Structure 1
Amino acid sequence: MSEHAGGQESKARRRLAEQLAEQKAAEAKRRRQAWAGAFAAVAVVGVLITVFVIIGQRGGDDSPEQAAGTASASPSDVDPAAPGAPPAPQLPEGADPALGSKPNVTAGEGKLTELSVTPLIEGTGPKVTAGQTITTNYVGVFYENGEQFDSSWDRGEPATFPIGVGQVIEGWDKGLVGVTVGSRVQLDIPAELAYGDGAGGRPGGPLRFVVDVLAAQ
């Protein structure tokens, strides 16, 4: 091959190499531009999201309920009971409305020697049987002076426990089995069927309870 032909071939190869290099450079430039455009779009979206979040936070400062998409309570939804007052108990169907109020319990008279069960309100529900779990509201006072020592009303919730199986004092086990649901009864309990002499910080001596039987199952 002549030198002239070899020179032309070298020039052609150089031109081809230069064209390929130019194509690669142009492709790389297009890629850089595409990435730059994508980054710019992401940045714009990020700015918009930040603005919306800030606006949403400012708009939600006035009402957490509105920020959560719920309506705030109207005055008619507010419990009319005084602040701190315990909620009214849920009464059995057909129960006397008086069971919705705490009873006034006074001292007994004379010496108490045996269990006495006095119906104050007659319920219309089924009779309590031994082994059932009952729900009650109650007030407990010392029989001799009427001083209160315990009350589910003051705790704001009824007491639930098994009855007739030795889980409560004997005066309750014996006095509440057979009482109908929806009743209010007065239990006058001698010390030996209650807490005895009151050892361990328990109320000692004869006791009086007024118990509302709200449920049994």
Structure 2
Amino acid sequence: MSERTQQKGPDQSPATKSGRRLAAQLAEKKAADARRKRNAWAGGLAGIAVMALLIGGFVWIDRNRSDDKPANQAGATPSASAPAPDAAAPPAPQLPEGADPALGTKPTVTPGTGDLKKLTVTPLIKGTGPAVQKGQNITTNYVGVFYKDGKEFDSSWKAGQPATFPIGVGQVIPGWDQGLVGVNVGSRVQLDIPGELAYGNDEANAGGRPTGPLRFVVDVLAAQ
């Protein structure tokens, strides 16, 4: 072995040095890439945390606003306990000037007693208007019941509109023609009418109309 070969130390060839520098550069690049990835992950996690805090804050604010609403503004649905208007109730009748307000309410009609032999007119409310004359058109509210049991068979109140007709000229039953002429406008009268002055006593010939003695309570609202 030569002297030059024996004195040679660690490999100091240019190729070896270049390889070490390349390895060092690669290692530094890997380290830099690793640092960038760590920073990117940290930034992403921080962004998610910030978004979570913002969303939580909005939810908390909205919940507080909802809780601060007055109870009567919580919804637009009206209370189920509120009374609803009675759509089936008929309108109040137009009363003559100065008439008793009781004429605005349907009367309660009771049955009669004993045998009814003749037409009987009983004033219940005395009106202050002019007396009804034969041949006039009168406007009335009325309730008709069977005299013996008080069962209602007809009423202008059910229709919610008074009835108008000529009086004293045979357009209504004789008991009305005879019993309402001379009654003052604004009056309420009770007419007890025997069958022969009403629709008769024979059911076979009544054509479905009420037979036998009848009782009417009549309010005279107008006459002209």
Q: TM-score range by the shorter chain?
A: 0.5 to 0.7
Structure 2 length-normalised TM: 0.61
- Which residue is 2:215 aligned to? 208
The answer to whether structure 1 residue 97 and structure 2 residue 101 are counterparts is yes
Q: Deviations over 1:13-51 (max 9, x none)?
A: xxxxxxxxxxxxxxxxxxxxxxxxxxxxxxxxxxxxxxx
Answer with 1 or 2: which has the greater Rg. 2
Deviation at 1:81, TM superposition (A): 5.9
Equivalent residues in 2 for 1:99-114 (5 A)? Answer: 99-114=103-118
The AA in structure 2 aligned to 1:216 is A
Q: Deviations over 1:98-157 (max 9, x none)?
A: 000000001000000000000000000000000000000000000000000000001110
CA distance in 1, matches of 2:126, 2:142: 16
Deviation at 1:82, TM superposition (A): 2.0
The 10-residue stretch of structure 1 (167-176 or 80-89) with the greater mean CA deviation from structure 2: 80-89
Name the SS of the counterpart of 2:95 in structure 1: coil
CA RMSD across the alignment: 1.0
Deviation at 1:83, TM superposition (A): 1.6
Aligned length, in residue pairs = 138
CA distance in 1, matches of 2:102, 2:214: 23
- Match for 1:140 among 134, 137, 144? 144
- Which residue is 2:182 aligned to? 178
> CA, structure 1 residues 95+81, in 2 after alignment: closer, same or farther (shift >3 Å)?
farther
The AA in structure 1 aligned to 2:188 is R
The AA in structure 2 aligned to 1:210 is V
Name the SS of the counterpart of 2:212 in structure 1: coil
The AA in structure 2 aligned to 1:183 is S
CA distance in 2, matches of 1:187, 1:81: 35
CA distance in 1, matches of 2:211, 2:110: 17
- Which residue is 1:75 aligned to? none
The AA in structure 1 aligned to 2:124 is L
- Which residue is 1:39 aligned to? none
CA distance in 2, matches of 1:90, 1:149: 24
The AA in structure 1 aligned to 2:142 is Y
CA distance in 2, matches of 1:106, 1:130: 29
- Gapped runs of 5+ residues in structure 2? 1-83
> CA, structure 1 residues 84+126, in 2 after alignment: closer, same or farther (shift >3 Å)?
same
Name the SS of the counterpart of 2:139 in structure 1: strand
CA distance in 2, matches of 1:125, 1:82: 33
- Gapped runs of 5+ residues in structure 1? 1-79
Structure 1 stretches of 4+ with a deviation exceeding 3 A read: none
Percent identity among equivalent residues? 77
